[in-house]
């Protein structure tokens, strides 16, 4: 295929708009249609990028010009949208996770397999330059055999009100932690076989009232006995904070940091530097790279990665963490609203 890939975006919340922006910047893709239940949002984005606007996903999927679709709708809608896109014969890029239950995930993957269409999942950290280099270092053996995985993911705030259903139903481990569980599997090169989690509603009253948690710790044991730990938080008031470490038998890797600009100011008052305000800035290169990978795979006929099996495995860890958490009382020490 030599012509740009005609592609559409289904769902125009925060992630849908991010993907639309990067697709419009790719010369090997052509954003031809967008869809949102909010008519104003659909027409706004369509006008911005010269695309067609739809207010129902069926109409977008029926667009005869499309070869591929990006699914960025609400999490609980992903599985149905994947099945509909597969039935339409479209290549699919879907935001994580495919579903909130393994049964729904399996149904969606069966539809994809039956239709023979490619599916890529939005685990963008696999395309971040620092994580990519870390993976290369581990595979080269430079740090020996990986022994311990540690990850921190701290959001500076709760998701917006429109994402609250996903926050409560999907909880901290699925909505936020699934990225870290995917990184755990990817960097360590093996599956997780044991999970234990604790968590609490320590800051936000509306989470406590809904039975959710805003801070959590998850311990992992991998198939070969290696260990892992993941810290998750919704209240990093200082900025967006994603860091990962891998300790090996011959060395270690530290991935990521707080600084957005490589500049520290040293005065008598101390040392100061900026921080990443939110994930679109921290993973800007990764979002562009993952979309370029998807488009190039569809155009060339290659199989994109990460795929649905990767999503299922990460979701399985997140669900195990949720089950572990539910076996003990949730700590509640609300300090905010």
User: pLDDT > 90: what percent of the chain?
Assistant: 85
Candidates 145, 135, 92, 144; CA nearest to 116 is: 92
Give the residue extent of every domain in the chain.
Answer: 5-117, 127-284+315-332
Predicted TM-score (pTM) of this structure: 0.94
Q: Which residues contact 161 (CB under 8 A, 6 or more apart)?
A: none
Asked if the model's pLDDT at residue 162 lies above 60, the reply is: no
CATH number of 5-117: 3.40.50.720
Same fold, 5-117 and 127-284+315-332: no
Candidates 77, 209, 58, 221; CA nearest to 148 is: 221
Contact 199, 331 (CB under 8 A): yes
Quote the CA–CA distance of 73 and 36 in Å, as a whole number.
Answer: 8
- Per-residue confidence (pLDDT) for residue 323, from 0 to 100: 92
Q: Which residues contact 160 (CB under 8 A, 6 or more apart)?
A: 14
The 10s digit of each residue's pLDDT in 92-141 is: 999 999 999 999 999 999 999 999 999 999 999 999 999 999 999 999 99
Quote the CA–CA distance of 135 and 66 in Å, as a whole number.
Answer: 34
The arithmetic mean of pLDDT across residues 254-267, rounded, is: 90
Across the chain, mean pLDDT equals: 93
Which pLDDT band holds residue 160 (cuts at 50, 70, 90)?
Answer: low
Quote the CA–CA distance of 236 and 256 in Å, as a whole number.
Answer: 16
Which pLDDT band holds residue 23 (cuts at 50, 70, 90)?
Answer: very high
Which pLDDT band holds residue 296 (cuts at 50, 70, 90)?
Answer: very high
* Superfamily name with CATH number, domain 127-284+315-332: Dihydrodipicolinate Reductase; domain 2 (3.30.360.10)
**DSSP 3-state of 49:** helix
User: pLDDT > 70: what percent of the chain?
Assistant: 94
């Amino acid at each position: 295929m030599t012509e740009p890939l005609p592609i559409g975006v289904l769902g125009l919340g925060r992630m849908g708009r991010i993907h639309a922006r990067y697709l419009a910047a790719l010369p090997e893709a052509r954003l031809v249609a967008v869809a949102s239940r909010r008519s104003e949002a659909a027409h706004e984005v369509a006008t911005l990028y010269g695309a067609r606007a739809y207010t129902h996903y069926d109409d977008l999927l029926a667009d005869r010009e499309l070869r591929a679709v990006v699914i960025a709708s609400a999490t609980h809608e992903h599985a149905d949208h994947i099945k509909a896109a597969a039935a339409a014969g479209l290549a699919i890029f879907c935001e994580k996770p495919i579903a909130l239950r393994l049964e729904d995930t399996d149904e969606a993957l069966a539809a994809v397999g039956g239709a023979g269409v490619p599916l890529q999942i939005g685990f963008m950290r696999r395309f971040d330059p620092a994580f990519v280099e870390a993976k290369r270092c581990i595979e080269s053996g430079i740090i020996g055999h990986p022994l311990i995985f540690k990850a921190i993911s701290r959001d500076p705030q709760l998701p917006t009100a429109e994402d609250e259903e996903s926050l409560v139903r999907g909880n901290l481990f699925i909505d936020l932690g699934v990225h870290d569980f995917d990184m755990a599997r990817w960097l360590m090169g093996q599956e997780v076989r044991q999970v234990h989690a604790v968590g609490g509603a320590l800051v936000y009253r509306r989470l406590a009232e809904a039975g959710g948690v805003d801070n959590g710790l998850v311990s992992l044991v991998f198939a070969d006995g290696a260990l892992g730990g993941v810290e998750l938080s919704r209240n990093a008031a200082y900025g967006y904070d994603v860091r990962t470490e891998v300790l090996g038998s011959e060395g270690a890797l530290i991935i990521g940091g707080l600084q957005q600009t490589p500049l520290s100011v040293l005065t008598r008052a101390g040392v100061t530097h900026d921080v990443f305000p939110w994930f679109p800035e921290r993973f800007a290169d990764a979002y562009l790279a993952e979309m370029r990978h998807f488009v190039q795979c569809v155009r060339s006929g290659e199989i994109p990665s990460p795929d649905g099996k990767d999503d299922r495995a990460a979701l399985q860890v997140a669900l195990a963490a949720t089950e572990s958490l539910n076996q003990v009382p949730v700590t509640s020490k609300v300090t905010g609203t």
